Structure 1
Amino acid sequence: MSNVLRECLGQFCLITATGLYLIHLIPQIIHTFKKKHHHDLSFTFMWVMLIGFMCDYIFALVEEMPMLYELVSVLGLGQMLLWIMLSFNHEHRIETMILLTLTIIGVIRTMTKIYLSALVPMTDVIYVVSQICFLSCWLMQCARSVHAQSAQSLSYMMISLSLCAVYFDYGAAWLLGWRTSYLVFGLIAVFYHSIVQGYLLLIKRKETRYTL
Structure 2
Amino acid sequence: MSSTASRGASPRRSLISLSVLALLAPLAAAAQSAAPSEAPSTATDATASAPAPAKLLDEVTVNGVRKKTFAPTTVRVGAFRDQDPLDVPLTNSVMSRDLLDAQAAQGLYDALKNTAGVTRSQVSGSTYDNLSIRGIVVENRGNYRLNGNLPIVNLIDIPLENKEQVEVLKGASSMYYGMVPPSGIVNFVTKRPARRRSPR
The TM-score bracket by the shorter chain reads under 0.3
TM-score in terms of structure 2 length? 0.20
Structure with the larger helix share: 1
Which has the larger strand fraction? 2
TM-score in terms of structure 1 length: 0.20
Larger radius of gyration: 2
